[in-house]
Copies of this chain bind each other. A is one copy, B any other.
Amino acid sequence: MRATRPARPLRKQPDRYHHGDLARAMLQEAVRVIKDRGVEALTLRGVGETLGVSRTALYRHFTDKQALLTAVAREGFRTLRTELHEAWLGGGRGREGFERMGEAYVRFAVANPSHYRVMFGGLLESGETDIELGEQAGNAFQLLVDALAEQQQAGLVRKDDTLMLARYIWAIVHGVAMLALDGQLQHQQTDAETLIRFANERMRTGIAVS
């Protein structure tokens, strides 16, 4: 059941070099594989094959597989940040926009489960943290901080430590996203959309009796 030749090499002349931005092509292919078939399906050999390139070609552009995954994670934070920003602006930078941000966050995670996992996958655990990855995550987080500060100014949110509030909100949306990804919600009869809407209401007014 195994072909003796690469499944589908994109280049017609496999003996030519891959001119152009091979690093970028590899990153895109990695993102595609992760989105379509999950992280565990991502192999350097497979990426090289699909790109019509030797399986060791990657090492010219990334130090190892980990580095490629880190690049994937960075790209994810960049995309997430963009989508959050659009939701915030589209909702009018107030209560409405803030709720849309939460929904957009969860929607991103549900739409790209494996990619989202790579972003938060504990790659850092088994090694020192990547500087640029931390920056990208920080940029996305900063959006949340700014949105909260603006609402505090507008008298919509209590004037707690803004950073602390941002971490708290982040934990909520991240938690909703992760539970959805783990299938812990579908196993009950809820979906992520319902839960994040409930969360948006409850995080505002609290769970204690008024």
Contact = CB atoms under 8 A, between A and B. Distances in A.
Q: Of residues A129, A164, A207, which shows the largest number of chain B Cβ atoms within 10 Å of its Cβ?
A: A207
A176 interface: yes
Nearest to A152: B209
A155 B120 CA distance: 38
A168 B202 contact: yes
A169 B38 contact: no
Contacts of A170: 175, 179, 184
A164 B185 CA distance: 10
Contacts of A187: 129, 134, 138
9 contacts: A114-B122, A120-B184, A124-B183, A167-B179, A167-B195, A167-B198, A171-B195, A172-B175, A175-B175
